[in-house]
Amino acid sequence: MPSHILPVTNPNLHSSKQHSYLRIDPTTMPLKQGDPITSTRLESSPFEDETIISVRPLLSRTPSFAGTTTTSSASYQQRRRRVASENSLPSLSDDSFGQRPSPAREVDHAASETFLLTRLSLKLLRYMGVGYRWIMRFLALGCYSLMLFPGFIQVGYHYFFSSRVLRSIVYGDQPRNRLDLYLPKNTDGPKPVVAFVTGGAWIIGYKAWGSLLGQQLSERDIMVACIDYRNFPQGTMSNMVEDASEGISFVCNKIADYGGDPNRIYLMGQSAGGHIAACALVEQAIKEAGEGESTTWSVSQIKAYFGLSGGYNLFKLVDYFHSRGLYRSIFLSIMEGEESLRRFSPEVIVQDPNLKNAVSLLPPIVLFHGTADYSIPADSSKTFAETLQSVGVRAESILYEGKTHTDLFLQDPMRGGNDRMFEDLVSIIHSDDREAQAKDEVAPPRRRLVPEFMLQVAHMVSPF
């Protein structure tokens, strides 16, 4: 981009028509979204106070300008940390804890969340490219969403208006470092906790995607923390893993303040979230096995890892995703280049003989997958489980015949009644709690959210 020339009046000159000129390059200054010269260079963020960026200057700044920038940045970070510390951890003894916010505030929050979700969907289309294939898939997505709309309305109402859902708890300093917490109705003692990382093709992941799972697990006295994270292009894979790890750290260190049991924390991820969570877990184990690595949470605090419809070997998936529309160039941009595929492939990492000590630290791993999943093939979970077993990790894959990528996560839970995957998950979490097992045996069947014929249509037209 050509430099812009701005006139600067010289106070030592008497003529108002005489000026010196200051040459400004847009890449040398921190700029805000909306400036005419930078509107095409900035990616939007769901938080207005997080859109200031600083780009490395081509020319050195004057000392006075550099000092101003440093002071502003420092005060900005202090202001963010102060807000995070004041807002992220409500006291259980506070009379306002658990009370429902005002209707006006709820409506405003719902509107902003709806806007964000719409923008994320449009962003996905923009990065996929708009051709015949994607037009057809977009139409299929519209039909699929319409069929499940009755369920979405009920889940959304619970998400926005239930006093047992604590939304947007701050867990870190980065954009989108927020999590939603789903509290069980019964408060008779510490509850097991599931730290859940949602999916979204690494582009449209969002914490609210875990609302249905959080609601239904909380009805079985299981607390759920749905962790949000930066998506592409706001961040790349290393940023996503960093955010997930920071969210897990918050759960491990702070969940007792909300009534969770720090000795019964389970890590779970779905689809792309399963991949991100697995990378965070393996990376943490490598740090702990190394020397002098400072950590804020420990793999030993995780009782088990649950992967739902995830992919764990990128070398086997990059071409498959390309054939499905997640084009190779975009996918490699998300994963920070072809040279980083190994780093973000847990199945490959655990086979490294130099990492035996780190692999030995991993908790038990259970991988759920549907055999009719054509977004991420079921072999991804099967081969990862076999690889883990070969290196001494307790692992198993549980496959569900005829289930698609979304059946296990959306259609089956909305169907109500008994859901095999859900019951398998709950039984593992409650395996060492006889009282909870007794309650599970007499638990009423979950109510249906969507008529059966609409679920059948959704299954047929699903673009996933």
> Among this protein's residues, is 405 annotated catalytic?
yes
Q: Among 218, 405, 412, 419, which one carries the catalytic annotation? A: 405
CA dist 404 and 458 (Å) reads 11
As a whole number of angstroms, the distance between CA 114 and CA 124 comes to: 16
What tokens were used for 183? 């509290």
Distance CA 196, CA 181 (A): 10
Q: Which two tokens stand for residue 15?
A: 């003529």
Query: How many CB atoms are closer than 10 A to CB 6?
Result: 10
> What is the sign of the dihedral through the CA atoms of 273, 279, 282 and 286?
negative
Kind of pairing, strands 178-182 and 223-227?
Answer: antiparallel
Residue 339 per-residue DSSP state:
G
Q: Quick check: 25 and 59 in contact, CB under 8 A?
A: yes
The helix (H) or strand (E) run that includes residue 78 is helix 63-87
User: Which residue in the list 180, 221, 243, 373 is annotated as catalytic?
Assistant: 373
**Which residue, 241, 210, 205, is CA-closest to 225?**
210
CB atoms under 10 Å from CB of 251, counted, come to 27
* Amino acid identity at 104: A
Clarify whether 145 is annotated catalytic.
no
Integer Cα distance of 241 and 340 in angstroms: 13
Q: Name the CA dihedral angle for 367, 370, 372, 378, rounded to a multiple of 10 degrees.
A: 10
CA distance 312 to 386: 12
Q: Please give the C-alpha separations between residue 447 and each of 413, 451, 453, in angstroms, as whole numbers.
A: 9, 11, 16
Cα–Cα distances (Å) from 425 to 44, 331, 334, 436, in that order, read 37, 31, 30, 13
Beta-sheet strands, E only, within 134-197: 165-170, 178-182, 191-197
427 flagged as catalytic: no
Q: With helix as H, strand as E and coil as C, how does 432-456 read?
A: CCHHHHHHHHCCCCECCCCCHHHHH
Instruction: Please state, as a whole number, how many other Cβ atoms lie within 10 Å of the Cβ of residue 139.
Output: 12
Catalytic residue among 211, 218, 249, 271: 271
- Residues recognised as catalytic: 271, 373, 405
